[in-house]
Structure 1
Amino acid sequence: MFFKSMIEDVLNKREQERKKAAAKGATTGLTIGAAIGAVVGLLYAPKSGKETREEIKEKANETKVDLKLKAMDAKDNLSQKANETKEDLKTKIEQTKQVVNTTKEGLKKTADDTKKNLEETKEAAQDTKEAVDKTQNDLNKMNNNK
């Protein structure tokens, strides 16, 4: 049950990360589409060539800065998620180790108790055998004396 819960947690986190990545991809696509649209709009605008080139250059620089900021943000988010996942895994590993150690201790105690019970049973069986042998000898003596 513990391992199932741990696996479900990891899978849920992966699904959340996948959805966030898809949303970021859509945002990036919209940004690039807007930039392309702006460039096309500028190319067909009734302005001088120099003005149009300046606007294209300005928009290209804005888009470049915007993309750099988005890349840095994505890198930071990815790094943060990696650290969170690493810490979650460390916690899960530590919990698993504790469960394993507790189980080992329980099994060792059970084995020790079973060994002790077996020894006591052997002793009781030996005592019973000796009592039966003594009783048999006593009966034989009584039958011989008759």
Structure 2
Amino acid sequence: MSRKNNTAGILAGLLAGAAAGVILGMLYAPEEGKETRKKIKNKANDLKDQAKNKYGEVSEKVKDQYSNISSTFKETASSVAHTVKDGYDKYKDQIVSKTADVVKNVESELNDLKK
């Protein structure tokens, strides 16, 4: 998560720096105030559109990463569940078999003692 926050912070910083640079450049340019304000408004709209586009791109990347992570997690959880189930079945059968052997041995010993 911190990497995503860093990327978003860097992106916001770059956009803010670019906007500030453009505005300062326009304010110091030797043009009429009306023309300067028009340029600032147009540039602000351009920057807003760029920010929306970048937000959409970053949002899609995050969704894709989440989808990949979610899919990988589900596959891993399923694999672990199958491994545990297979191990349980394997050892259950062995325990049942060994228990049956022990019961036979105990019965045999008891029968020998009765004789």
Structure 2 length-normalised TM: 0.81
1:86 CA drift (Å): 1.0
Partner in structure 2 of residue 4 of structure 1 = 2
Residues in 1 aligned to 2:43 and 2:95: alpha-carbon distance in whole angstroms: 77
Matched residue SS, 1:11 = helix
**Residue 15 (structure 1) aligned to one of 6, 13, 16:** 13
Partner in structure 2 of residue 49 of structure 1 = none
Listed as ranges, the matches of 1:109-124 within 5 Å are 109-124=79-94
Partner in structure 2 of residue 92 of structure 1 = 62
Structure 2 residue 51 is matched with structure 1 residue 81: yes
Structure 2 residue 78 is matched with structure 1 residue 108: yes
Which one is further off, 11-20 or 133-142? 11-20
1:114 CA drift (Å): 1.0
Aligned-residue RMSD, C-alpha: 2.2
Q: What percent identity do the matched residue pairs reach? A: 18
Greater Cα radius of gyration, structure 1 or 2: 1
Q: How many residues align?
A: 115
Structure 2 residue 104 is matched with structure 1 residue 137: no
Amino acid at match of 2:13: E
Residues in 2 aligned to 1:24 and 1:7: alpha-carbon distance in whole angstroms: 26
Residues in 1 aligned to 2:2 and 2:98: alpha-carbon distance in whole angstroms: 51
The list of structure 1 runs, each at least 4 consecutive aligned residues, that deviate by more than 6 angstroms after superposition, is none
1:78 CA drift (Å): 1.8
Residues in 2 aligned to 1:93 and 1:112: alpha-carbon distance in whole angstroms: 28
